[in-house]
A = this chain, B = another copy of it.
């Protein structure tokens, strides 16, 4: 695994995205390594809970724009397999949002069992500002976590939500000072890891069994929507404006 670092503390596996130089942007390699990390933690009977976090000052800046426009490197798993591995992950899954999360760095939070976020962190869904649409089942998970009004605003308006706002809205279970974040999450994860795995996975399964089918349906519908919008006039204007370092102008679009 080139782009993630694994650590075991007893039965708690920490998976740290480790591309701090690009704010842990999701490259093809990172997606493959994350998929392997979830698949391995699924199979490894010594693992009772998983914490996902990011190295450096960001959680994840989202898609790796540096890879966009270039021929994609060949993927071992790809984004779809990563999402499947997360949706199917049978053990308690914590996210520790240690800094900025954008795009997939925000929408992943909808798939986690427990999100802990630093007060100093913030999340954003930039989809509209790129002429694109939402992903990772966020059109299903966010309305259920935050209420439809707040979720649709978050998905449409491309505005930032602070750590405290995420906790108040229900997108995170709790917000804590960044200095305490990893210690708090680890302590909570260890509480679960002291309990029998068969109970943890059975109860999670009972909750998730009802949700996996609509999550998967949302991912497929989002993919179709995204395919329609990639290369559309608004998406082209957004990319042009980005290259020309000017605000995009969506007048008439």
Q: A152 — which chain B residues lie within 8 A by C-beta? A: 92, 113-114, 203-204, 207
Shortest beta-carbon distance, A38 to chain B, in Å?
A: 18
Q: Are B114 and A199 in contact (CB under 8 A)?
A: no
**24 A–B contacts from the bound complex (CB under 8 Å):** A92-B152, A113-B148, A115-B149, A127-B203, A128-B195, A131-B196, A131-B199, A132-B199, A134-B206, A139-B203, A143-B144, A145-B147, A149-B173, A150-B170, A153-B173, A156-B199, A156-B200, A157-B191, A158-B195, A199-B234, A202-B228, A203-B225, A205-B225, A206-B221
Establish whether residues B210 and A214, one from each chain, have CB atoms under 8 Å apart when the complex forms. yes
Residue A164 at the chain B interface, CB threshold 8 Å? no
Docked complex: A123-147 residues within 8 A CB-CB of B:
127-134, 139-140, 143-145, 147
The list of the 7 closest CB pairs from A to B, nearest first, reads A196-B234, A139-B206, A128-B195, A128-B199, A133-B202, A149-B173, A196-B253
Render A153-195 as a binary contact track against B, CB cut-off 8 A, 1 for contact: 1011111000000000010110000000000000010011011
Binary CB contact string for chain A from 208 to 248 against chain B (1 if under 8 A, 0 otherwise) = 01110010011001100100110011100110000000000
Enumerate chain B residues within 8 angstroms of A92, measured Cβ to Cβ: 152, 156
Chain A residues in the interface with B (C-beta under 8 A): 92, 112-115, 127-134, 139-140, 143-145, 147-153, 155-159, 170, 172-173, 188, 191-192, 194-200, 202-207, 209-211, 214, 217-218, 221-222, 225, 228-229, 232-234, 237-238, 250, 253
Give A250's nearest chain B residue, CB to CB: B196
Q: Write the chain B residue with the least CB distance to A211.
A: B148
Do B218 and A202 have beta carbons less than 8 Å apart? no
Q: A129-B195, A149-B170, A194-B250 are in contact. Are A229 and B210 (CB under 8 A)?
A: no
On whether the beta carbons of B173 and A203 are closer than 8 Å, the reply is no
Q: Give Cα distance in the complex from A42 to B141, angstroms.
A: 27
Q: Is the CB of B198 within 8 A of A148?
A: no
